[in-house]
Amino acid sequence: LLHGGEHHVLTEEDATTVEMLGVLAVVGARFAELYLPLVSLSAVAARLQEKPFDLDTALRIILTGVTAAEGLGFSRAMVFLQPTGAPEAKGRLAVGPLDGEEAHNTWVAIEDQKRQFRSPGNPFFNRLLDEAERISLEIRGGARQDSALSEHVQSVSLPASLSQMPLSEYSAPLCEQLLSRGDWKGKFACVPLLVKDICRGFLIADRDFQGRRVSENDAPLLQLFANIAAIAVESLTVRTPANESE
């Protein structure tokens, strides 16, 4: 028997339940979004606690977390170090491709590695960290050169004021030195390397080769990796007048 007239579709208790389910859905979606970055952050931190590393190896491990699909998934990431009080920060190390062709070739190679990777209990991300260690060891021993991107970044100095700009464009005059080689198109995220409220440099990352731009939402997670980089810089850079320009 159908009754005519109007009735409340949901009781007050039903409405509360729906609202709670909505909140849980949002929390669940956000947790899923943060899960891989936080797991990779933990893996990077654990790796750096396992044994002593030189600064470049530590930074390469950290930037691997920033660029790996299992981490933050940026196209490339770069660390610039700023001597105390200096107006510029000098490029120290970078991970990722210099141009679109290299980006394509790198991603094809990584996908091939993933298909061939079979190691229960040892996530592929750990293999990437192993690779970062090995590359640094080979570079230090003279068995290989650093990447084209890293060599280019090491020849560049950028204004220290960039550390105050969470989002910027590569086309900005401040970034002119970067544009001399490689592909530099859209926006990049920039977060400071802070040690006891003193800026020791900054970390730049972009999504240039992914068909999308960085956004304000990228900065908080990127800052977590920058915090580890700042600790590494403070711990592994010997402060003397002779190397204050490190």
Residue 1 has a pLDDT of: 42
| pTM, two decimal places | 0.83
Residue 2 has a pLDDT of: 44
* Closest to 35 (Cα-Cα) out of 67, 70, 61: 70
Residue 215 has a pLDDT of: 86
Residue 13 has a pLDDT of: 64
Cβ pair 129, 43 in contact under 8 A: yes
* Closest to 133 (Cα-Cα) out of 62, 237, 75, 222: 62
Bridge partner list, 195: 198
Residue 105 has a pLDDT of: 95
- H or E segment and range at residue 48: helix 12-50
Task: Print pLDDT tens along the chain (246 aa).
Answer: 444 555 455 556 645 655 565 555 544 545 556 777 888 899 999 999 888 999 999 999 999 999 999 899 999 999 999 998 899 999 999 999 999 999 999 999 988 888 887 665 558 899 999 999 999 999 999 999 999 999 999 999 999 999 888 888 888 888 889 988 999 988 899 999 998 888 999 999 999 998 778 888 888 899 999 999 999 999 887 543 344 444
Instruction: Tell me how far apart the alpha carbons of residues 215 and 188 are, in angstroms, rounded to a whole number.
Output: 8
Residue 240 has a pLDDT of: 37
- H or E segment and range at residue 57: helix 55-67
Residue 9 has a pLDDT of: 52
Residue 116 has a pLDDT of: 81
SS3 state at 84: coil
